[in-house]
Amino acid sequence: MKWCAKCLYPESSAVKLSFDEKGVCSGCSVNEQKAEIDWDKRAEMLKEIVETYRSKDGSNYDCIIPVSGGKDSHYQTYYMTKKLGLKPLLVTYHGNNYLEVGEENLKNMRNVFDVDHMIFSPSVEVLKKLNRICFKLMGDMNWHAHAGIFSTPVQVAVKFNIPLIIWGEHGRLDLGGQYSLNDLVEMTARDILEHCKRGYDWDSMTDEGLKKLGRPELSEGLTARDLFCYKYPDMRDIARVGVRGLYLGNYISWDANKQTKFVIDNYNFKISEQSFDRTYRKMSNLDDMHENGIHDYLKYIKFGYGRATDHASKDIRLGIMTREEGIEMVKKYDHVKPRDLYRWLEYVGMKEEEFDRVCDTFRDPKVWRKNDKGEWEKDNMWDDKK
Amino acid sequence: MFNFRGKAYLTLMTFCIKIIFRKQINYHVFFMIAIINYKMGNLQSVGNLLEYLGEEYVITDKKEEIAGADKIILPGVGAFTEAMKNLRELDLLDILKEEVLEKKKPFLGICLGMQILAEKGYEGGECDGLGFLKGEVRHFDLKDKKLPIPHVGWNTVKPKEGSILYGNDVRERVFYFVHSYHLICKDEEDVSGYADYGGNFVASVEKGNIFATQFHPEKSQDDGIEVFKNFLAYKSA
Amino acid sequence: MLKKRLIACLLLKDGQLVESIGFSRFLVVGNAIMAVKHFNAWGVDEIIFLDINREKNYDFERNDVYYDNTLKEFAEVIRYVSKSSFVPITAGGGIRSLDDIRKYLSAGADKVSINSAAIENLQIITEGAKRFGKQCLVVSVDAKKMPDGTHHVMKNFGKEDTGMNVVEWAKKAEEAGAGEIFLTSVDMDGSLQGYDIPLIKSVVEAVNIPVIASGGVGDWNHLVEGIELGGVAAVSVGNKFHFTEHSTMHAKKYMKEHGIDTR
């Protein structure tokens, strides 16, 4: 197993990396671009684009901001309302996994910003079914969240005729350098289907869909009308409305730590007082207890690394953590089986033995092997450290 | 009951086969399209489109399978002489004459598969074609027009009235072409569509059960899919 | 009349689609089938599909995705993606013999692209043209600008200078039986600054077979320049098509609005 010479990402990263001759990964090299970009020019570019979408007669919202209520959501809304003077419509997909503090932050948004906020809360029964199906089908109980977050706001854009959507940073660009910061990449149906939804679309979740996939035993009786939130609009509607999704991370120099401090100081954003089981950060993913929890645990099972690697790599790149400190974080947190597992097991009605058994079917044989005692083991970056 | 192609008859047949031979077969086996494999060109592309349209097909050079097929498709990319040589070596000339000219099976030739329908071709010397249509195949003569050869890319076709491939609709369509030679028909009524590359040339022919296109309908997206559907819907008189 | 073509150029490196910057830096964009399906839906005219690195496979098989992520050989990938493409696919990368050409054509490619093998032995083009027809053969030429202003042909992923002049090589390839020339500027690749117009023009004027321009598109206006100033029959775009929604449709719209006859 090979690791990036600079950050902590392994070769087996979920976001495919490329490495240069020095062994530095594409995620690091793309982040290094931040220092070379003329951010004032980028801010001007954004201003110009946004002007063309501002509602001329004030009869409609100027844009949509998909929000979870988190630190990024607060910063994006601050930027669009205060710096660019827009009237956005906030759209949230509520996956029913909010931490209490996350729920408070979500409600906070329309208190501190002069915005209307639409919260889409799918049926809990449907959510439980999707949790079960997707866990067994692709080892990701949070597929509904990835699919919903990236489909619901686009549906709203089409239905309300609001073409401009402002996202935060492009996650995979930031983690692994899927694109360069010079590409000015925008939201595409293809990227969302391939990477956020892993190629599975809403129609894979119905009984018929599961039968086609050869997994009829996973059927839970879902039909098309249970899955509205997960449908990306037809390309003709996208073209008709002229829907366009921009990533704010292409136009401002994104720094999660600075931005969090800013929204805490100015906009009543609250971080978790409790630590998470699988990471040292307290400000990330307050909207979904499983994102840092069992969803991330499954990432460890599949690819051999977890949230601590993500957060530490980000902080190493931002210059606020050394690689050695990062390795300590990975040692401490990556392998932990988190407590939110028990909430989830009760939520969907599954036993831990079954959970473990399904998990094991997703272990990547290139990462994991069984030792003589029959325990799972893998290479670690600290193995060669003498 | 005595219509050998009727659905009722075939259902009865497949039921009998199931009982007598204890073998399950789908009656679609009787509605097979044969794509002739004479080692020229990308046969799988045609197969992919038939699969997309839900049609059963077989890629074959076997006489029995060609004889047993409901429709015949002859694709082709390459040289006229090589095509005829291969057909001769595979001993397919007679079966094609029989199935297409005598039994009048619906036949679709694509690109080189259209060109070899001619009496003669002049690629690398004079060579006899299948002779299903009157005419000859010549190289584009465009030097004074400074147009590159081969003719590669998307070009507009003007269909004639009454054509089956274009659904009797003279609306212009765009198809993908890739060739350096073109068919010159002696009988104007054989031509069902023209395209323009330094002058008009034959884009497609239709003569009874014989259909052929210079362009590649299997690589021409929606317009191409429509041509295929129209061919597949055609029933010999 | 024959329309100008808009071509999507997909680069496959160790099983994944990548963005290429100057032939030396690569960013992993995703899986080939998603690109092929979407570009087909967005009306691209052709797809050029090149396997650019066959040394090491770090494509980890994943059983948690809906598209096939386990294909190990390029021919397998061609077979998989060509089922979903109803526009022509030109496949290239690692073609060393007539058998390789046959392999790619039977897997589902409509044309093949040959680069280094032709430089090493032009016979492969002559024989290939006889066996499969020159319409199937695209000779791919990577060109780098020299200090004296001329362009040399590069091989080995743009790293080795063959010393040959691009125009002379293009003429030789045409004579040997090439059906088209796929001309890439190593300098402009991934630059987003536009095609190398003088390079393109020099080759277009020297040959009588179609030339496809490649390398450097950052703006749809570069496509118009390529056709009007460079004189090419087709324009190819690599990286830029991956960045925006309905990219190929917007490119075509722009071209049409600026007087280019395209589908």
> Is position B52 within any domain?
yes
> Is position B151 within any domain?
yes
For residue A312, the SS3 value is helix
The pLDDT value recorded for residue C55 is: 64
For chain B, the chains sharing at least 3 beta-carbon pairs closer than 8 angstroms are C
Interchain contact, B48 vs C83, CB within 8 Å: yes
Residue C180 sits at the chain B interface (C-beta within 8 Å)? yes
Structure confidence by residue, pLDDT tens digits, C159-172: 899 999 999 999 99
Structure confidence by residue, pLDDT tens digits, B85-94: 999 999 999 9
* Claim to verify: residue A41 and residue A162 sit in the same structural domain: yes
DSSP character string of C113-166: EESHHHHH-THHHHHHHHHH-GGGEEEEEEEEE-TTS-EEEEETTTTEEEEEEH
Inter-residue contact C113 to C139 (CB < 8 Å): yes
Tell me what the mean pLDDT of segment A246-275 comes to. 93
Inter-residue contact A73 to A65 (CB < 8 Å): yes
Tell me what the mean pLDDT of segment C144-151 comes to. 93
Tell me what the mean pLDDT of segment C26-44 comes to. 90
* Claim to verify: residue A161 and residue A282 sit in the same structural domain: no
The pLDDT value recorded for residue A59 is: 93
B130-150: b (≥16 Cβ within 10 Å) or e:
bebbebbbbebeeeeeebbbb
Inter-residue contact B226 to B211 (CB < 8 Å): no
Is residue C185's pLDDT more than 80? Answer: yes
The pLDDT value recorded for residue B3 is: 39
The pLDDT value recorded for residue A16 is: 85
Interchain contact, A235 vs C246, CB within 8 Å: yes
Please tell me whether the overall predicted TM-score, pTM, comes out greater than 0.90 for this model.
Answer: no
Tell me what the mean pLDDT of segment B183-198 comes to. 95
The pLDDT value recorded for residue A8 is: 93
The pLDDT value recorded for residue A384 is: 60
- Chain C residues with CB-CB distance to B196 below 8 A: 1
Q: Tell me, what CATH number does B51's domain have?
A: 3.40.50.880
* Claim to verify: residue A227 and residue A293 sit in the same structural domain: no
Q: Which domain holds residue B136?
A: 31-233
The pLDDT value recorded for residue B17 is: 62
Residue B127 designated active-site: no
- Chain A residues with CB-CB distance to C21 below 8 A: 180
The pLDDT value recorded for residue C201 is: 95
Residue B144: closest C-alpha in chain C: C208
Residue B111 designated active-site: yes
Stronger pLDDT, B19 or C170, i.e. the higher one: C170
Interchain contact, C245 vs A199, CB within 8 Å: no
Domain count along chain A: 2
**In angstroms, rounded to a whole number, what is the distance separating the alpha carbons of residues C61 and C55?**
17
> Is position B22 within any domain?
no
The pLDDT value recorded for residue B21 is: 60
DSSP A23: S
DSSP character string of A217-232: GG-----GGG-GGGPP
Is residue B15's pLDDT more than 90? Answer: no
Percent above pLDDT 90 for chain C: 68
The pLDDT value recorded for residue A366 is: 84
**In angstroms, rounded to a whole number, what is the distance separating the alpha carbons of residues A244 and A166?**
9
Give residue C228's pLDDT band: very low, low, confident or very high (50, 70, 90). very high
CATH for the C5-257 domain, from 3.30.56.10, 3.30.1370.30, 3.30.70.2740, 3.20.20.70: 3.20.20.70
Nearest to C172 by CA among C207, C199, C130, C140: C207
Judged by CB atoms within 8 Å, which residues 50-89 of C form the interface with B?
79, 82-83, 86-88
> Is position A14 within any domain?
no
> Is position A79 within any domain?
yes
* Claim to verify: residue A68 and residue A142 sit in the same structural domain: yes
Judged by CB atoms within 8 Å, which residues 117-146 of C form the interface with B?
130-136
The pLDDT value recorded for residue C54 is: 64
Tell me what the mean pLDDT of segment A344-357 comes to. 94
Percent above pLDDT 70 for chain A: 99
> Is position B218 within any domain?
yes
Calculate the average pLDDT of chain B: 87
* Chains B and A lie in contact, requiring 3 or more CB pairs less than 8 Å apart: no
Give φ, ψ of C19 to 5 degrees: -90, 140
Give φ, ψ of C161 to 5 degrees: -85, 120
CA distance A138 to chain C (A): 4
Residue C231 sits at the chain B interface (C-beta within 8 Å)? no
CA distance C15 to chain B (A): 22
CA distance C174 to chain B (A): 11
DSSP character string of A242-305: T-EEEEGGGTS---HHHHHHHHHHHH-----SSPPSS-S-SSS-TT-TTTTTHHHHHHHHHHS-
> Is position B21 within any domain?
no
Q: Which domain holds residue A100?
A: 37-250
* Claim to verify: residue A220 and residue A315 sit in the same structural domain: no
Structure confidence by residue, pLDDT tens digits, A3-47: 999 999 998 888 888 888 899 999 999 999 999 999 999 999 999
* Claim to verify: residue A235 and residue A312 sit in the same structural domain: no
Q: Which of the following is catalytic: B111, B127, B136, B182?
A: B111
Structure confidence by residue, pLDDT tens digits, A218-227: 999 999 999 9
Structure confidence by residue, pLDDT tens digits, A86-104: 999 999 999 999 999 999 9
Is residue B8's pLDDT more than 60? Answer: no
* Claim to verify: residue A295 and residue A183 sit in the same structural domain: no
The pLDDT value recorded for residue C28 is: 86
For residue B171, the SS3 value is coil
What are the domain boundaries of chain C?
5-257
Is residue B9's pLDDT more than 60? Answer: no
Nearest to C33 by CA among C16, C14, C50: C16
Structure confidence by residue, pLDDT tens digits, B144-174: 777 888 999 999 999 999 999 999 999 999 9
DSSP A173: H
Residue B16 designated active-site: no
Is residue B26's pLDDT more than 70? Answer: no
Q: Of C3, C88, C262, which is closest to B219 when you measure between CB atoms?
A: C88
Reported for C93-97, long-range contacts at CB under 8 A and 24+ positions apart, including other chains, are C93/C12, C93/C50, C93/C51, C93/C52, C93/C54, C94/C51, C94/C54, C95/C124, C96/C124, C97/C124
Tell me what the mean pLDDT of segment C81-92 comes to. 93
The pLDDT value recorded for residue C70 is: 75
The pLDDT value recorded for residue C232 is: 94
Among C84, C110, C138, the strongest candidate for a mutation testing the B interface, having the largest count of B CBs within 10 A, is: C110
The interface predicted TM-score (ipTM) is 0.90
Residue C4 sits at the chain B interface (C-beta within 8 Å)? yes
Q: Tell me, what CATH number does A92's domain have?
A: 3.40.50.620
> Is position A85 within any domain?
yes
DSSP character string of B13-42: HHHHHHHHH-----GGGGS-EEEE-SS-S-
Domain count along chain B: 1
* Host H or E run for residue C172: helix C166-176
Is residue C225's pLDDT more than 60? Answer: yes
Q: Of B48, B149, B177, which is closest to C82 when you measure between CB atoms?
A: B48
